[in-house]
Amino acid sequence: TLSARVAALLAFSVLSCSFSATAEHASGRTAAFISSPTALLRNAGSVLHMPSSGRSGRKGRSLADGVVMMAKKVVSRKASKGFGAPKKIVKNNVKELDDPKTVALFDWLKEGGSSVSRVAIADFKGLRGVAAREVIEEGQAIVSIPQDLALNLGSDGINPGYAASKLCAIEKSEERRQQGWFQPFLDVLPTFEQCDTTDFFSDDELKALEWEPVQTETAERLSMLRSTYDASQIKGVQREDQVEVSWDEFMWGVYQVVSRVLTIQREGQDGEKYLIPMIDMFNHDPRSVHELKCSQGAFKVIAGKRIQAGEQINILYGGGVLNNDRLIQDYGFIQQNNEFDVEQLTARKTKEPMVGYPFKGMGLDEAGLRELLDSFSTTLEDDEAALGGGGLDG
């Protein structure tokens, strides 16, 4: 029996390949993965990039209305110990998490000058997210985090291995000092056991996705990361600090970088990668109108509309223009009825354009769609049955 996460990710093929005879619900991709479009949120000379080109994914859960939550926020009913048992009620039966690590995080944030009193980390029917503790008016700062509380992981390019090595060195340093300054932040980051991007999939699990582009890019990324790790010359971080980092620890760092880091682009300077406490706790909603801003030495989330007390507050990842191929690799979840899949359908076997249908699918016809569907080893019904059963036999 393969990992249950594969059964969850089978929703990728369920959603991406649920074509009708007239291609009304066709989804997929067109080209090799390059850099996906990124949200450029300009304010005070800075641009904040959501981590849409981190080349990694994360398992998650999608809701029926298309709002997608990330698995780093998932609260296990069987093992909520790591996130703390929800006890306090914010409003409307939304349960605030008040475990020791969460309490320590908020105490540390406040001690460092953060403004976080308007929000709480809460349990939303098994999903961990950010809740409003009070009414927040449009234009108000939902949270404000001083830049000094964020971890600057350097300005290197798209290879996440460089920033990952720096993060590992910081983590090791805090560990050696026993309860260093950043320890409350580091304590709430996902553990290695919670890392479930495609980088952590077994060969069988990747194969079960039955989507060659995702499989290929994952293999290429892992090869690049292995070379980076083996070289042990990542800006001298490991050598100068004399920090020994195992492969698993290195990959833990990669996971944090590709899924949680923001790149700050200031005019005339190279972009710098920041891991920002609390802001990395917000879940994703493609319809979110809230803004990420960098001004007056602080990172802020600004309310784009009035927020009611007890309401979950989500932000937008990747500018809201990411197809499911990109989402499943960079964040590990998919978005139901993702409109950006329409222009990214691979017509691997099609020759004739669609006739009589206003379809943007790069020359797809019914026969080609059927042939594409037939190339999968399971049917839509098989995948739905596996999802319902929580696993995949084979």
Region 314-338 average pLDDT: 78
Q: Count other Cβ atoms within 10 Å, centred on residue 177.
A: 11
Residue 29 domain flag: no
Region 112-119 average pLDDT: 98
pLDDT tens digits, residue range 166-198? Answer: 999 899 888 777 778 999 999 999 999 988 888
What pLDDT is attached to residue 224? Answer: 96
What pLDDT is attached to residue 293? Answer: 93
For residues 22 and 221, which has the higher predicted lDDT (pLDDT)?
Answer: 221
pLDDT tens digits, residue range 1-10? Answer: 445 555 555 5
Residue 267 domain flag: yes
For residues 139 and 393, which has the higher predicted lDDT (pLDDT)?
Answer: 139
Amino acid at 169: A
- Could you give the CA distance from residue 282 to residue 144 in angstroms, rounded to a whole number? 13
Helix (H), strand (E) counts: the chain:
11, 16
Region 41-52 average pLDDT: 36
Q: Which of 81-85, 274-278, 320-324 has the lowest mean pLDDT?
A: 81-85
> Which residue shows structure tokens 């709002």?
67
Which of 185, 204, 192 lies closest to 245 in space, CA to CA? 192
**Do residues 389 and 7 make contact, with C-beta atoms less than 8 angstroms apart?**
yes
Range of the domain at 161: 36-325
Residue 245 domain flag: yes
pLDDT tens digits, residue range 334-354? Answer: 778 877 775 444 444 445 544
The enclosing H or E element of 14 equals helix 4-16
Q: Is 336 exposed, middle or buried (0-12, 13-18, 19+ CB in 10 A)?
A: middle
Total domain count, the chain: 1
pLDDT tens digits, residue range 193-234? Answer: 988 888 998 899 889 888 888 899 999 999 999 999 988 655
Amino acid at 247: W
Q: Which of 45-54, 94-103, 121-130 has the lowest mean pLDDT?
A: 45-54
Prediction pTM value: 0.72
Structure tokens belonging to residue 285: 């909603």
Residue 279 domain flag: yes
Amino acid at 343: E
**Do residues 321 and 35 make contact, with C-beta atoms less than 8 angstroms apart?**
no
Region 71-98 average pLDDT: 55
Q: Assign residue 81 the CATH number of its domain.
A: 3.90.1410.10
Q: What's the chain's average pLDDT?
A: 73
What pLDDT is attached to residue 174? Answer: 83
Residue 19 domain flag: no
Residue 384 domain flag: no
Region 354-364 average pLDDT: 45
What pLDDT is attached to residue 343? Answer: 45
Residue 23 domain flag: no
Q: Which of 66-75, 118-127, 172-181, 358-367 has the lowest mean pLDDT?
A: 66-75
Residue 350 domain flag: no
Q: How confident is the model at residue 16 (pLDDT cuts 50, 70, 90)?
A: very low
In order, the DSSP letters of 261-305 are: -EEEEETTS--EEEE-TTGGG-EE-TT---EEEEETTEEEEE-SS
- Percent of the chain surpassing pLDDT 90: 37
Q: How confident is the model at residue 134 (pLDDT cuts 50, 70, 90)?
A: very high
For residues 104 and 323, which has the higher predicted lDDT (pLDDT)?
Answer: 104
Q: Rounded to 5, what percent of the chain is helix, strand, coil?
A: 35, 20, 45
Q: How many residues comprise the chain?
A: 394
- Could you give the CA distance from residue 265 to residue 8 in angstroms, rounded to a whole number? 35
Quick check: 87 pLDDT over 90?
A: no
| Strand partners of residue 295 | 298
Quick check: 265 pLDDT over 70?
A: yes
Which value, in Å, is the radius of gyration of the alpha carbons in the chain?
21
> Which residue shows structure tokens 């939550």?
69
What pLDDT is attached to residue 77? Answer: 29
Which of 73, 51, 50 lies closest to 61 in space, CA to CA? 73
What pLDDT is attached to residue 7? Answer: 52
What pLDDT is attached to residue 64? Answer: 30
Quick check: 20 pLDDT over 90?
A: no
Strand ranges of the sheet holding 298-302, from the earlier edge strand across to the other edge? 141-146, 298-302, 291-295
Phi/psi of residue 303, nearest 5 degrees: -70, 125
